[in-house]
Amino acid sequence: MEAPRLAHAMSSPTSPCEEVIKNLSLEAIQLCDRDGNKSQDSGIAEMEELPVPHNIKISNITCDSFKICWDMDSKSKDRITHYFIDLNKKENKNSNKFKHKDVPTKLVAKAVPLPMTVRGHWFLSPRTEYTVAVQTASKQVDGDYVVSEWSEIIEFCTADYSKVHLTQLLEKAEVIAGRMLKLSVFYRNQHKEYFDYTREHHGNAMQPSVKDNSGSHGSPISGKLEGIFFSCNTEFNTGKPPQDSPYGRYRFEIAAEKLFNPNTNLYFGDFYCMYTAYHYVILVMAPVGSPGDEFCKQRLPQLNIKDNKFLTCDEEDGVMVYHHAQDVILEVIYTDPVDLSLGTVAEITGHQLMSLSTANAKKDPSCKTCNISVGR
């Protein structure tokens, strides 16, 4: 039987958490820190001999939960009524220097069979490093606690979004995608030096590079998937790519069918905004059977290339026809090298709008449109 889920020891949960924490016993207590210091009126009795947890093990890690277990001596084991868990984000030594020691970071749960599941999107974030230490405790008749010494401190990192979480993001993105507009080319904007370097050092072929950390913090493609970014959005009045760009004054254009066709798989990668009214959707195009395709197949929701809300490829009267969503900005990652000879490179006439750059852009965690109910 899985252990009860833990609730924050010092505050009442907000309404989204009510379902998660119902039937739990919440304890309004202040706990001593890992150094054994107690705040005044802490409500914790002087330390008595209780078994100290050791050999702590973390398992079944997801983006917003983990299981924890440990060993402890049998002496006084029957006196244990609660476990105190000190869970903290792993910070660099200067980032949190003004934090007061009495700020609660502790979780409390009744002593239950181990392993215990710690779950809760209101205090766990995906792809985040944490430290954890444990105490055993015995609640006295007067409400005070006798506690053991703290265990050793161990470190772990939460996981990326799963396909289930990405499907939730996908469904939110579908709501605002808007009607579909025709497109004929994919394009990539860069500085002239980029294309010169590609010709001189890579035999004319643009090479995939590791995606940066822009977008959702839990996205499984950030810092892992290798690909080449392309755009495909068109101007409503002309049906052509916009002349402005945040990424450079030179543009590579390639006919859509050379990258996107029935031999290409399409995946949903992310949905986010950067404190703006417009939203971005990241799609991944991977040639069938390629390394990029295998990477995505395990981690991302796959889209039907003929029928989805973002980017479609279908045949009409023997000709391939392409459409893109009007109301989101699509960022398309192609996972294989692309030879410049397959398209054209030319200087654009518009402006370089740096404000539109998404390089390492941070997602707005408060946006109700593009966030899901797991850790940010």
What pLDDT sits at residue 222? Answer: 93
Note whether 93 and 117 are within 8 A (CB): no
Rounded Cα distance, 279 and 344, in Å = 29
The answer on pLDDT for 170 being more than 90 is yes
Residue 81: how many CB atoms within 10 A of its CB? 14
The answer on pLDDT for 199 being more than 70 is yes
- Most confident residue range from 98-112, 229-243, 343-357: 229-243
Rounded Cα distance, 267 and 169, in Å = 13
State pLDDT tens for residues 89-134.
887 544 444 343 444 467 888 888 899 998 875 678 898 899 999 9
The answer on pLDDT for 361 being more than 60 is yes
Least confident range from 4-18, 56-70, 170-184, 323-337: namely 4-18
Mean pLDDT for all residues in the chain: 82
Least confident range from 52-56, 91-95, 140-144, 146-150: namely 91-95
CATH of domain 54-158: 2.60.40.10
What pLDDT sits at residue 360? Answer: 63
The answer on pLDDT for 21 being more than 90 is no
Q: How confident is the model at residue 210 (pLDDT cuts 50, 70, 90)?
A: very high
Residue with the bigger pLDDT between 277 and 354: it is 277
- Dihedral, 175, 181, 184, 185 alpha carbons, nearest 10: -50
Apex 361 CA angle, 358 and 367, nearest 5: 110
Residue with the bigger pLDDT between 353 and 77: it is 77
Contacts of 300 (CB under 8 A, 6+ apart): 163, 166, 220, 221, 267, 268, 269, 284
φ and ψ at residue 315, rounded to 5 degrees: -100, 130
What pLDDT sits at residue 253? Answer: 95
State pLDDT tens for residues 30-78.
344 555 444 433 444 444 489 999 999 999 999 989 999 999 988 778 8
Instruction: Read off the pLDDT of each residue in 242-258 and give the average, rounded to a whole number.
Output: 88
Short-list 115, 111, 107, 101, CA closest to 29: 107
Q: Where are the domains of the chain?
A: 54-158, 163-347
Amino acid present at 286: A
Find how far residue 59's CA is from the centre of its chain: 19
Contacts of 136 (CB under 8 A, 6+ apart): 50, 51, 52, 53, 72, 80, 82, 83, 84, 111, 147, 148
Rounded Cα distance, 86 and 175, in Å = 40
What pLDDT sits at residue 279? Answer: 94
Global confidence as pTM: 0.79
Q: What percent of the chain shows pLDDT beyond 70?
A: 79
The three-state DSSP-derived secondary structure of the chain is CCCCCCEECCCCCCHHHHHHHCCCCCCCCCCCCCCCCCCCCCCECCCCCCCCCEEEEEECCCCCEEEEEEECCCCCHHHCCEEEEEEEECCCCCCCCCCCCCCCCEEEEECCCCCEEEECCCCCCCCCEEEEEEEEEEECCCCCEEECCCCCCEEEECCCCCHHHHHHHHHHHHHHCCCEEEECEEEEEECHHHHHHHHHHCCCEECCEECCCCECCCCCCCCCCEEEEEECCCCCCCCCCCCCECCCCEEEEEEHHHCCCCCEEEEEEEEECCCCCCCEEEEEEEECCCHHHHHHHHHCCEECCCCCCCEEEEEECCEEEEEEECCCEEEEEECCCEEHHHCEEEECCCCECHHHCCCCCECCCCCCCCCCCCCC
First vs last C-alpha separation in the chain: 29
Residue 166 burial (C-beta neighbours within 10 Å; 0-12, 13-18, 19+): buried
What pLDDT sits at residue 157? Answer: 94
Residue with the bigger pLDDT between 36 and 191: it is 191
What pLDDT sits at residue 223? Answer: 93
Note whether 274 and 363 are within 8 A (CB): yes
Retrieve residue 340's tokens: 């410049």
